[in-house]
Structure 1
Amino acid sequence: MDKRVYRNVDLLFVVFTFLLLAASLFILSTASINVDKADPMHYVKAQAVWIASGIVIAIVLASIDYQKWRHFRWWIYGLNLALLGAVILFGSSAKGATRWIPITSTITIQPSEFAKIFIILTLADFLAERQGKLNNFKDFIPPFLFVLIPMLLIFKQPDLGTTLVFAAIFIGMMFVAGANPYKFGGLLLGGVCIVAVALWLHFATDLPWWLHWAQGLPLPMQDYQLKRLTIFVNPAADTTGDGYHIIQSIWAIGSGGFWGKGYRMGTQGQLNFLPEHHTDFIFSVVGEEFGFIGTVTLLFIFLIFILRSVSIAMKARGPYGMLVGTGIISMFTFHILVNVGMTSGIMPVTGIPLPLISFGGSAMWSNMAAVGLLLSINLRSQRLMF
């Protein structure tokens, strides 16, 4: 790659990416200290390996012209479906879900994490060809079906959280691709209303006689998934079951106060009352041990990271780069909002990790691949004149 290309690099984006990676190791050094008694630093060392290898992935993808991925749209899409199908056929199960493919006796990969990157790359090309042709309801059908197939494979695992991430990516990219905002927005609003009514009918127990036929409406979801979607409204209704996670998380964040209890001085996290506090609920540890100041600082770093990502996408040299950037921004933003929301008790618990912070190899590689693609767009945002 021509060295002059590096003049375009967004240094602020790079700096804040490394701040998030450093924050991940620092927070994990307290969040996971009591998870593995035999090796208290196990998760920190493993995360360091994922981060180092993730940086290599980001550098490789940044060095490749992102436009080249357009030529392999159907190959990437096919690989995506093949990996997701392999999970159903050969995947290993844990905690009631089959989401991982074993590589060795100790290493597994989660294809649904990489599926987010694959769908962004392929859907961006699919929509770039249809810019200016997304004005009617029938125009929305082909891109919807394009995303629906991998979404259904992920939903079957079951993985409701990643399914919702796919929906967020699709919505963000459709609007930027030029979908009629009134018709597409109305369609989305109608869909939300239908889901809300379906949930109400499913849980309703005292409906009028003329609605008895719909009482207990069956839904294509596991009982625990449905419970998680509604328990956040009143977690006290099930303090030892599905509401336990939310209650412990709220206690952890609330007990941190303004300054926090101090590094490794928390109780909910250090005594393992708070479940999954090194993965999905790692933000709760930040709130408990570093307080309001710690959470605001972390959210500020995320804010700058997202704003620089938006700047990169807006400067892309063509619709494909802008759509890839939009998909990545939609993915990161949805992850952040939902993770912070669910740990704060204002959103359902959907098992969505905090990007670039939570422990996880597949998630870290996927996030760093997204960073690499953004840098690829950034580096090629201006033509070389001399």
Structure 2
Amino acid sequence: MKLRNLLEIDFSLFFAALILTFFGILFIYSSGITSTGVLVSNEYIRQIVWAIGGTMIALFLAMINYRRLYDLSLYFYLGTLLLLVYTCFFGRLVNGARAWIGIGSFGIQPSEFAKITTIILLARYLDSSKKNQKHLVRFAVSCIIVFIPMGIVLLQPDFGTSLVFIPILLGMTFVAGISFRYIVFLSACILFTGIFMVLPLWQSYILQGAMPFLSIIQNVRFVAISVAALFLVMVIALIGVRLYKKQYFFWIIYGAAIITFSLGASFISHKVLKDYQIMRLIVFLDPNVDPRGAGWNIIQSITAIGSGGLLGKGYLQGTQSHYRFLPQQSTDFIFSIFAEEWGLLGGILVFTLFLLICLRLIRIMKTTADVFGSFIAAGLSAMYIFHFLVNVGMTMGIMPITGIPLLFMSYGGSALLSAMSGIGLSLSIYIRRYQH
């Protein structure tokens, strides 16, 4: 470790993260103020402690050579897997998810750190396999590396956090040069799974049964017959590929496989998802279906953001938060408070800072001479972008409520420490970007 390395860090990346963290502390404090001006929460004090700890971790990681993690990546990955499994059985139950390990008032969320260790191990694998394995094998192994922690997180169940692993997988495999057809295949499966999952809910709750044929997607017999028929089509097309060597037979198999996986996954999801998770999808389609229940959060969040106008109501002058209209306002809906009090211009400032972080990470990814470091930067960039788009989109009503925090700003030690750890790794890569 050399202290002079700290003078070579990417200061724009580092200070963008620090400014967002500072904004988070300010508005976590604001979220604890009532309409009478009484402070009823000390969350901001804890966030300050975590911010100091996260900054120290980031600077420590910047000083050490990130390549030391290459040989240790598997051990870190397996360690977080053990913590995730332990959490499933013995973790603290909060908001319907057993996702925290608690010791008294102190608790950590292992899934936040699992994202970082998964990125590091996947970067190692993609680096080590770039010359001697086929695209399909590389993509399949990459999926296994990512889907194992993702599946355990789903069992907690923490649907929102599990989703973050998908863009990490897609972003890193794309940068690694894996054939685009495999990336598109997985993306299409996810897209159609979402469509097939939402359509029955849409006709039942929004259309009030006006299109009953959409309900057959949830019918066991229909799904079984459809899957069997599509499987038969794939077998016939496979024979066509072998006998006639025609490309269109491959695309028939490709399309049929997407529909088969999507139908099966959407059917299973309806059986696995909890009632409150299904209601989140319904109120995303139309919050007024349950305006005083599941739709309350979205309606109040949109109201808060809209009432901020161009310049906002002023710091500590917000009404939606101080009158306690926004549930979970220091975590999931911190951006709603920010936009209400600092308005559109404040929101643009947050957008700009996150854009700067992502652009700097992409720059690091492109300029570093070490492929391992480049892949880590790609995974971190995908993680930050997804968190930002989903959380801010959720507060604006253009994304379903998933419980994904706004990194650096939302209250929570595990999310902040893992986000700052990612910044530290990025700074370490930047310092050594010209070293092989």
TM normalised by structure 2 equals 0.82
- The alignment status of 1:278 with 2:330, answered yes or no, reads yes
Q: 1:359 to 1:198 in 2, by over 3 A?
A: closer
Deviation at 1:193, TM superposition (A): 1.3
The answer for the alignment partner of 1:173 in structure 2 is 172
**Greater mean alpha carbon deviation, residues 238-247 or residues 309-318:** 309-318
Structure number, greater radius of gyration: 2
Q: Could you tell me how far apart the structure 2 residues matched to 1:122 and 1:270 are?
A: 44
- The alignment status of 1:45 with 2:45, answered yes or no, reads yes
The answer for the alignment partner of 1:190 in structure 2 is 189
Deviation at 1:287, TM superposition (A): 1.3
Report if aligned partners of 1:316, 1:322 keep a CA contact under 8 Å in 2.
yes
The answer for the alignment partner of 1:18 in structure 2 is 18
- Percent of paired sites with the same residue: 37
Q: Secondary structure at the match of 2:272?
A: coil
Report if aligned partners of 2:202, 2:282 keep a CA contact under 8 Å in 1.
no
Q: 1:370 to 1:208 in 2, by over 3 A?
A: closer
Deviation at 1:187, TM superposition (A): 3.5
- The alignment status of 1:232 with 2:231, answered yes or no, reads no
Out of 358, 363, 373, which is 1:306 matched to? 358
Q: Secondary structure at the match of 2:285?
A: coil
- The alignment status of 1:72 with 2:78, answered yes or no, reads no
How many residues of Structure 1 are paired with residues of Structure 2 in the alignment?
383
| 1:1-386 correspondence to structure 2 within 5 Å | 1-2=1-2, 5-6=5-6, 8-34=8-34, 40=40, 42-103=42-103, 105-131=104-130, 136-201=135-200, 204-205=203-204, 206-207=212-213, 213-214=221-222, 217=267, 218-383=270-435
Q: Secondary structure at the match of 1:232?
A: helix
Q: Could you tell me how far apart the structure 1 residues matched to 2:120 and 2:432 are?
A: 17
**Greater mean alpha carbon deviation, residues 300-309 or residues 280-289:** 300-309
Q: Secondary structure at the match of 2:271?
A: coil
Q: 1:276 to 1:133 in 2, by over 3 A?
A: farther
Deviation at 1:40, TM superposition (A): 4.0
Q: Secondary structure at the match of 1:229?
A: helix
Report if aligned partners of 1:286, 1:294 keep a CA contact under 8 Å in 2.
yes
Q: Could you tell me how far apart the structure 2 residues matched to 1:368 and 1:309 are?
A: 13
Q: Could you tell me how far apart the structure 1 residues matched to 2:127 and 2:277 are?
A: 35
Q: Secondary structure at the match of 2:98?
A: strand
Report if aligned partners of 2:203, 2:214 keep a CA contact under 8 Å in 1.
no
**Greater mean alpha carbon deviation, residues 372-381 or residues 212-221:** 212-221
Q: Could you tell me how far apart the structure 2 residues matched to 1:262 and 1:288 are?
A: 8
Tell me the amino acid that sits aligned with residue 352 of structure 2: F
Deviation at 1:39, TM superposition (A): 5.2
Q: Could you tell me how far apart the structure 2 residues matched to 1:302 and 1:153 are?
A: 29
Report if aligned partners of 1:8, 1:380 keep a CA contact under 8 Å in 2.
no
**Greater mean alpha carbon deviation, residues 307-316 or residues 354-363:** 307-316
Q: Could you tell me how far apart the structure 1 residues matched to 2:23 and 2:294 are?
A: 29
Q: Secondary structure at the match of 1:108?
A: strand
Q: Could you tell me how far apart the structure 2 residues matched to 1:88 and 1:349 are?
A: 22
- Structure with greater helix share of residues: 2
Q: Could you tell me how far apart the structure 2 residues matched to 1:285 and 1:38 are?
A: 17
Tell me the amino acid that sits aligned with residue 335 of structure 2: F
Deviation at 1:370, TM superposition (A): 0.6
Q: Could you tell me how far apart the structure 1 residues matched to 2:140 and 2:21 are?
A: 39
Q: Could you tell me how far apart the structure 2 residues matched to 1:214 and 1:273 are?
A: 44
Q: Could you tell me how far apart the structure 2 residues matched to 1:207 and 1:166 are?
A: 34
Q: Could you tell me how far apart the structure 2 residues matched to 1:257 and 1:20 are?
A: 21
Q: 1:220 to 1:243 in 2, by over 3 A?
A: same
Structure 2: runs of 5 or more not aligned:
205-211, 224-265
Deviation at 1:381, TM superposition (A): 1.2
Tell me the amino acid that sits aligned with residue 18 of structure 1: L
Tell me the amino acid that sits aligned with residue 184 of structure 2: G
Q: Secondary structure at the match of 2:314?
A: coil
Q: Which runs of 4+ in 1 moved over 3 A?
A: 2-8, 37-41, 132-139, 201-205, 208-219
Structure 1: runs of 5 or more not aligned:
none
Report if aligned partners of 2:126, 2:138 keep a CA contact under 8 Å in 1.
no
Report if aligned partners of 1:55, 1:368 keep a CA contact under 8 Å in 2.
yes
Q: Could you tell me how far apart the structure 2 residues matched to 1:326 and 1:254 are?
A: 34
Q: Could you tell me how far apart the structure 2 residues matched to 1:274 and 1:128 are?
A: 45
Q: 1:133 to 1:230 in 2, by over 3 A?
A: farther
Q: 1:317 to 1:244 in 2, by over 3 A?
A: same
Q: Secondary structure at the match of 1:279?
A: coil
Deviation at 1:209, TM superposition (A): 9.9
Q: Could you tell me how far apart the structure 2 residues matched to 1:313 and 1:232 are?
A: 35
Q: Secondary structure at the match of 2:61?
A: helix
Q: Secondary structure at the match of 2:213?
A: coil
